[in-house]
Amino acid sequence: MIRESDFAKAVVYAYKKGYRVIDGHVMSPYRDTQPLILSVYGNPGYYTFSIRHNKRRYKVRVHQLIAYQKFGKKALSPGIQVRHMDDNRLNNRYSNIRIGSASDNSMDRPSEQRQEQSNKAASKRRKYSDEQIGEMRRLHGEGWSYKQLMEKFNISSKGTMSNIINNDYTTTKE
């Protein structure tokens, strides 16, 4: 497994060797354009290329190299992420790259994508399925009390029961 600090080292080594990103393309100091390889990091992934330094091969993420060119050492600081302003990880044009926090990076995504991700994460932690929640709401609509529902579904908190009945607690829209 490659440590995050190795990626930062690789960016600095590549820059010192003369690699540059121009109009989204990696320019090698040894030939016109360095071929890009689509990495397996994420979906659709990030463009990377490899360099050798001290008999070791390093993988360089193109978006990190351009951020280093644009913002210097600050781009490699802990807690700083490279942001693609159009949400396209493969667009490494100078004007599309910014740096910021994880929160900044998340807020760059459209609200629908953020909501979908939030629902997905919540559904993994949730104790009750959409079907069970629908049944609780149906029974409540038929006049069942919170106490009766809590006993039937083994819920110990009235606040939890209220949240399930009154809030958007499902992963799918009803």
Q: Pick one of 3.90.75.20, 3.40.50.10470, 3.40.50.970, 3.90.470.20 as the CATH number of 4-107.
A: 3.90.75.20
pLDDT at 2 over 60: no
Nearest to 64 by CA among 36, 97, 40: 97
Q: Whole-model pTM?
A: 0.66
Confidence of residue 84 (pLDDT cuts 50, 70, 90): very high
What does the pLDDT look like over 7-62, one tens digit per residue? 888 999 999 999 999 888 888 888 766 666 666 666 668 888 888 888 888 888 99
Q: How many CB atoms lie within 10 A of CB 59?
A: 16
Q: Which residues pair with 84 in a beta bridge?
A: 97
Give the integer Cα–Cα distance in Å for 14 and 58. 9
Task: Tell me the CA distances in angstroms from 97 to 23, 46, 93, 115, 132, one per residue in order.
Answer: 11, 13, 7, 24, 45
Q: Where are the domains of the chain?
A: 4-107, 111-166
- 157 CB contacts (<8 Å, ≥6 apart)? 150
Give the integer Cα–Cα distance in Å for 4 and 58. 12
The pLDDT, as a whole number, for residue 48 is: 86
What's the 3-state SS for 92-153?
CCHHHEEEECHHHHHHCCCHHHHHHHHHHHHHHHCCCCHHHHHHHHHHHHCCCCHHHHHHHC
Contact 71, 99 (CB under 8 A): yes
